[in-house]
Amino acid sequence: MKDRAGETFQNHAMVAAGVAVVGLALAAALPQTPENRWPALWGTGLAALTGVVSLGLKRRAVQRSLQAALKVVGLVFALRAVAVAAGLYAIVSRGLGPWGFVVGFFGVYFVLQWVEISYVNAASRSAAGGDE
């Protein structure tokens, strides 16, 4: 079962990495001007970074209990709220528009959130003996 749990995490981590790469590629390619491109890249990068932290914390929490995983959800939500606020402040204080940051961050965040929920579900089923 230990190998199955590691495989489940590895599969979800690879999907999360793919989401981050695609998000960064889109943030680099789609905005027409550097004034829009840099905020989009920063937003996408912060979402990817918080996604890495979130998936790692959820992995450790799921190994303990589902209740611990739910506590991590709250912790990660707070972390992401701080990341969004700090990122928006940094972008706006440099005279750049906030929309590229918002679209970059939340475009990646929503997909990574789905990956994280999928991982917690799969890991919980595996821990309960329901992995097939």
- Among 4-13, 66-75, 120-129, which is the least confidently predicted range? 120-129
**What is the spatial distance between Cα 78 and Cα 11, in angstroms, rounded to a whole number?**
26
- Model confidence pLDDT, tens digit, residues 63-117: 888 789 889 999 999 999 999 999 999 999 999 999 999 999 999 999 999 999 9
| Cα distance from N-terminal residue to C-terminal residue, the chain | 11
Predicted pLDDT at 12: 95
* Max CA separation in the chain (angstroms): 54
Predicted pLDDT at 65: 86
